[in-house]
Amino acid sequence: MSKTTNSNTLWGGRFKEDSDVMVKRFTSSIQFDQKLATQDIMVSLAHAHMLNKIGILKRSELEKINSGLEKIKEEIESNTFPWSEDLEDVHMNIESRLTDLIGIAGKKLHTARSRNDQVATDIRLYLREAIDEIKIELRKLQISIITLARSNATTIMPGFTHLQAAQPIIFGHHLLAWNEMLDRDYCRLVDCLHRLNECPLGSAALAGTSFPIDRHMTSELLRFNKPTENSMDGVSDRDFGVEFCSFSALLMAHLSRISEEIILWMSQQFDFISIPDSFCTGSSIMPQKKNPDIPELIRGKSGRVTGNLISLLTLIKSQPLAYNKDNQEDKEPIFDTVETILSSLRIFSQMVPGIKPNIEKMFESASIGHSTATDLAEYLVRKGIAFRDAHQAVGGIVALAIERNTSIDKIELSVLQSFCSNIQEDVFDVITLEGSVKSRNHFGATSPEQVEAAARRALRRLEERGKEDC
């Protein structure tokens, strides 16, 4: 087998043979973990300040490290940094370059730490920053949905169970149901952040270090809530990544559900809504087509994110404590999940304001399927009829309507009374679509008044969150 000609000077002292070229390539992570370069520099700066405080680094050495790391940051940002696969990962690349720039002080930086606690800290910082971005984008999407809901607080549409017409509802009410799903996702994300925001730095390889380090100092410098309690757990567990991907998979499942409804509603069979041409494509062969590509893609990407969750769960499930090389495989699923979530939220937020309801078609569809039958049964209950008897009578009325190919509100009063003498002229106030939605005027229900109130509450929640995150 071919061998490399240069020993790895950062860890090669114990080895008599160089690594095989194929092994180096297989074990190298620099192709993807260079994404953590900014976080790695932040961690090194905090560690260096702590080493200076406890007397391991002189002030002059700290200043050299600071200036060297700043130079490296500039090189990375300008795409002039000399990344090397031989140096395996982002940590070794930066440390090697630092030593090239400032000499012996660069070799002292790794005192009292390991790549194990270094990468565990880097990935937590990366996710913390990503979560801050996701929170912003998720709020934007929620605002778009709530705004659309408020503008459709009187638009009537059919509500479905089993994809069969069930009861008339307000379109804005349906949209606010979307928001409630996303609102719970937001809360899950915040909860995930609480457990993620602990600092593993100082755990070293797995047992801590014999140097008198100040883990609380580095934790505070990096704005973590506290250091991790146990050094073995701190370097080896990736449950924070699993939890983030679990949130992400559920968020994408919700976006997929919403996308599915948009796709259905855009079809000619429903014709409930349209979305701007800019979020659709046509067909290469069928000139009439307007395809809902964006919601379809988001529906598809939900599977991708769910796959990333399964990857991470599988990654950790059989690892003995403490750190194992398996954990190198945590980054790509996490990076991909973050990028997928952010891009999906951003494009959804832009698409939602362009949704235009076909109000007439929605109303017409709501009138199909005898969706006010429940209203008629409840009307009879208010007239003193037991619910089961009312249910039986209304079932007969529906059967007659089907036979006549009409709707129950079009049946003559005298005919309705033949099923139940308690029915009076006022029945037509409740079995119309407008009467049905208006009657559901309690907290959480679908009346226009309640939809408007719910939208206001939802916006207030988002405003308060925005203040908290500032």
Q: What residues are annotated to the active site?
A: 162, 283
CA 96 to chain centre: 37
- Name every residue whose Cβ is closer than 8 Å to that of residue 395 and which is 6 or more positions away in sequence: none
Task: Retrieve residue 188's tokens.
Answer: 């899950």
Neighbours of 101 (CB within 10 A): 17
The H or E element that residue 357 is part of is strand 356-357
Measured in whole angstroms, how far is the alpha carbon of residue 373 from the centre of its chain? Answer: 39
For the chain, the straight-line distance linking the first and the last C-alpha, in angstroms and rounded, comes to: 57
Question: What is the distance between the alpha carbons of residues 230 and 227, in angstroms, rounded to a whole number?
Answer: 9
CB-based contacts of 237, cutoff 8 Å, min separation 6: 316
Element (H, E) at 156: strand 156-161
Distances (CA, A) of 303 to 24, 35, 141, 308, 316: 32, 24, 21, 9, 20
- 132 and 469 in contact (C-beta within 8 Å)? yes
The sign of the CA dihedral 213, 217, 223, 229 is: positive
- Collapsing DSSP states into helix, strand and coil, what is residue 3? strand
